[in-house]
Every structure is written in C-alpha cells, then in structure tokens.
Amino acid sequence: MITLTTYAWVPDFAAPLMRAFRVRWALEEAGLPYAVRTVALGPEQRSPEHLARQPFGQAPAIEEDGLVLFESGAIALYVAEKTGTLLPRDRIGRERATAWVFAALNSVEIWIQQLASLDFFHAKEEWTKDFRPQIEKLVHDRLDLLEKALGGKDYLEGTFTVGDLMMTDVLRILDHTNIVAAYPRLSAYKQRCQARPAFKRAMTAQREGFQKAA
Ligand SMILES: N[C@@H](CCC(=O)N[C@@H](CS)C(=O)NCC(=O)O)C(=O)O
C-alpha cells in the first residue's frame, strides 16, 4: 500500500492548498487506499529520515514496495500509470496528458506561486508595490493563453486526465483572488474538475488530517 508523507499541521490558509492534496486527489481518482505518515514543520523536515524521502525537506512524498518518490507531479503520474486511470489509452493522448502536468507545474504554477507568496508572506511590504502588478500580469498572460488552449472543450484533452487534475490544483492557489473568475471558460473548467467526487473525498481527508493534529 502507498504511504503518503504530509505535514502533521499547517496554518489554516495553507490547509486546502498543501501539495499533498494533489496526491490524495490522484489516489482517490484511482481508487487506491493509502496510509499517511506525518512530519512536523521545523527541524524534522531536515532530519536524515525525511531528507531520504524528499531531498529538499518538503512534502509530499510517497513510498511503496521499496520505491520512494517525491515531487507531486512525478507522484501523480506514477499513480496514473500504475493504475491506468487519469491517462488516455492511446499513446498520443498519454503524452499530451503528461505534457499538461509539466505545463501546470512549470509554465503556470511558477507565476501563480510567486503571486501567492507575495500575498501570503509579504502583503503590504513596500518592495512588493511595483513588483506584484508585474507578476499578476504574467499570471494573466498564462491564464489567457490557457483558456485559449482549452477552447470549447470540457477538459484540456477532451477527457479528464492527470493533466487536468494538476492544472486545477495549480489554479486553486489563486482562490484568495478573483483572477480566475476573469476567465469564464477556465473558471467553469476549474469548477467542473472540482465537482468530481474524488476531489471532495480528498479535500475531506486533507482537512480532517490537519484538524486532528491541531
Ligand atoms: N515541487 C514540489 C513542491 C513541494 C512544496 O512546495 N511543498 C511545500 C508544502 S505545499 C513545503 O513542503 N513547504 C515547506 C518548505 O518548503 O520547507 C512538489 O510539487 O512536490
């Protein structure tokens, strides 16, 4: 059985966003049961045991049958490939879905995460005054092009894949803003993905995990 390593507790604003959520969501979509191991924010992140799981002392990580895997994108793809869920059956569809996972993490999340970091950790600091609008502009540019790529489809490649799971979870990082709402088709897409029963189960599990530790 897969063991997911996540944090025992995170601040309230981070609870729904913590990246272990994407792994929980993928596991729920695949119908795989999993065990949870927790580490505490702070010195335990840099313990040899945890660094062996996640070389940067972060979370999530998973373990299964001697495999130790880190990076939420790699883990979600592992779950998708292992179970044959969340990936189209045809080769081209699989490659395209994989590309969307990388796009979510490498082309979209980098700007969205910068904006969120400014808002969550540096709000009202003088130096962000000119910087934040520049980052927001870059986020808008990515979302505008993402909405164009989505076009009139329900999902990025027509059917729900691990690429949609990752893209939706990245867009959720903007939930403290009204930025996504400026893109009606993208906004409807995000809501469609979040309406999936597996999303709801994963969110319940994540919140309950943190509440128990609070
Ligand atoms: N690229 C990594 C990022 C993981 C990450 O940023 N995790 C955050 C929690 S959501 C974390 O561990 N933050 C604490 C830290 O960096 O020390 C992934 O996608 O798994």
Which whole-number Å values give the CA distances from 82 to 1, 27, 31, 75, 156, in the listed order?
Answer: 12, 11, 12, 10, 22
Mean pLDDT taken over the chain: 97
Q: What is the pLDDT of residues 44-70, one digit of tens each?
A: 999 999 999 999 999 999 999 999 999
Q: What is the pLDDT of residues 148-196, one digit of tens each?
A: 999 999 999 999 999 999 999 999 999 999 999 999 999 999 999 999 9
Q: Is the pLDDT of residue 212 over 90?
A: no
10 CA: nearest ligand 1 atom:
9
Protein residues whose CB sits closer than 6 Å to any atom of ligand 1: 18-19, 45, 57-60, 71-72
CATH superfamily, domain 2-85+198-213, is Glutaredoxin (3.40.30.10)
Q: What is the pLDDT of residues 161-170, one digit of tens each?
A: 999 999 999 9
Residue whose CA lies nearest to ligand 1 atom number 13: 58
| Domain ranges across the chain | 2-85+198-213, 91-196
Q: Give the residue, out of 19, 39, 120, with the most ligand 1 atoms within 8 A of its beta carbon, to mutate for a pocket test.
A: 19
Q: What is the largest CA-CA distance in the chain?
A: 51
Q: What is the pLDDT of residues 127-149, one digit of tens each?
A: 999 999 999 999 999 999 999 99
- What percent of the chain has a predicted confidence (pLDDT) above 70? 100
45 CA: nearest ligand 1 atom:
17
Q: Are strands 2-7 and 34-39 parallel, antiparallel or unpaired?
A: parallel
Q: Is the pLDDT of residue 20 over 80?
A: yes
Distance 16 CA to ligand 1 centre (A): 14
CATH class of 91-196: mainly alpha
Distance 206 CA to ligand 1 centre (A): 15
Distance 153 CA to ligand 1 centre (A): 31
pLDDT score recorded for residue 213? 72
Distance 104 CA to ligand 1 centre (A): 15
- Which of these, 197, 200, 22, lies nearest to 105 by C-alpha position? 22
Query: Would the pTM count as exceeding 0.95?
Result: yes
- Between helix 72-83 and helix 162-171 the angle, nearest 10°, is 150
What backbone torsions phi and psi does residue 193 show, to the nearest 5 degrees?
-70, -40
pLDDT score recorded for residue 209? 87
